[in-house]
Chain A
């Protein structure tokens, strides 16, 4: 059954249809959120909130859009919100930062199966907008036009973020190797 058919059924009041969509896109959302936030529990929360918002707004979904793209638009917003609220949280409990820095690798919240912990750590230190652009480009393999529609940023800005993000990521990986 196509995404569009599942959306129609969800609108008609069949919750199982939305459950199928959750199963179909959970992994993709979870991977992106995990790499954006670098923390397993936060990623899980964000993905859940994303699906809830998608369900509540399913009436506004335009069938001409790809469901995955529409869902990722919500997801990228939710990741930004989570980063903002986490920023406030870290500022409040600044003394915990020392504990985190001195903790042995891998950092708490690292997903099982992740071997290249260095890249996860380096990504976590990038500017959030650069990280978002790098993941959408390198990991999701999106075109800049798609990224632009998803994030609301111009294509030039996105290209710049990928370039600067890549340079910064290389520098961070070099530091981590040393």
Chain B
């Protein structure tokens, strides 16, 4: 079987010369537009375009407004890292403390999932052991030892705490009681200063 190309001739160019002349004459008979009409058109176009400026060619890709929004969203997500809140908090804390050498203790509390509260303490000097004491463990120095985290001056402890108000303090090397000077404190009832913490239980 052989392929055979079938040719369909294009219709010849039909032209009605008389009609062509008449249409062209009618076309040309339309007077040029009034200059005011042209100006009205140009003004209307430019006024409408004020709200939607002409596209400008800037190479293969042209900037879009949502690029900035997307970049900002990525930056926020990468900075806050919602999937690891404790990491973000740690880094924020360490960034804060790393900016200058600390001269006094600095603590932080973070409510984690499952009613667990994490206590952090950064000391200006090294310590052998640190414990967390409070109304939740009967002020027992041996009940909640803190764990050394980064280096020898940062300590952490995780304690399950029910929603409510709790007061606490830190014990360094079994003898020195101290508080976080930047955290809320309760009046000294004769046993030394203590910090106060409200657990709202929303996590």
Contacts and interface: CB of A to CB of B under 8 A. Distances in A.
Nearest to B33: A30
Contacts of B62: 59
A113 B30 CA distance: 6
A122 to B, nearest CB: 10
A170 B27 contact: no
Given A19-B46, A138-B24, A160-B11, A58 B54 contact: yes
Given A58-B54, A114-B29, A144-B13, A19 B42 contact: yes
A12 B56 contact: yes
B78 interface: no
A23 B26 contact: no
Contact of A170 (B19, B49, B57): B19
Interface in A22-65: 22-23, 26-27, 30-31, 34-35, 44, 47-48, 51-52, 55-60
Given A26-B38, A138-B20, A170-B16, A11 B27 contact: no
B49 A22 contact: no
Chain A CB within 10 A, most for which of B27, B55, B56: B27
Interface residues of B, number: 37
A159 interface: yes
A55 B20 contact: no
B102 interface: no
B31 A112 contact: yes
Contacts of B15: 162, 166
A75 interface: no
A36 B44 CA distance: 23
Contacts of A139: 23-24, 27
Contact of A48 (B29, B45, B56, B57): B45
A52 B32 contact: no
Given A44-B37, A59-B55, A159-B13, A52 B48 contact: yes
Contact of B22 (A52, A113, A116, A159): A116
A4 interface: no
Specify the main secondary structure of chain A where it touches its partner. Answer: helix
A83 to B, nearest CB: 18
B150 interface: no
A119 interface: yes
Interface of A: 10-13, 15, 18-19, 22-23, 26-27, 30-31, 34-35, 44, 47-48, 51-52, 55-60, 111-116, 119-120, 123, 134-135, 137-139, 141, 144, 155-156, 159-160, 162-163, 166, 169-170
23 contacts: A11-B56, A13-B56, A15-B46, A22-B38, A22-B41, A26-B41, A34-B30, A48-B41, A48-B44, A52-B48, A52-B49, A55-B45, A55-B49, A116-B25, A116-B26, A116-B29, A123-B26, A137-B20, A138-B20, A141-B24, A159-B10, A162-B14, A166-B19
Interface of B: 10-16, 19-20, 22-33, 37-38, 41-42, 44-46, 48-49, 52-57, 62
Given A11-B54, A11-B57, A139-B24, 11 more contacts: A11-B55, A15-B46, A18-B45, A26-B41, A55-B46, A113-B31, A114-B30, A115-B29, A138-B19, A166-B14, A166-B15
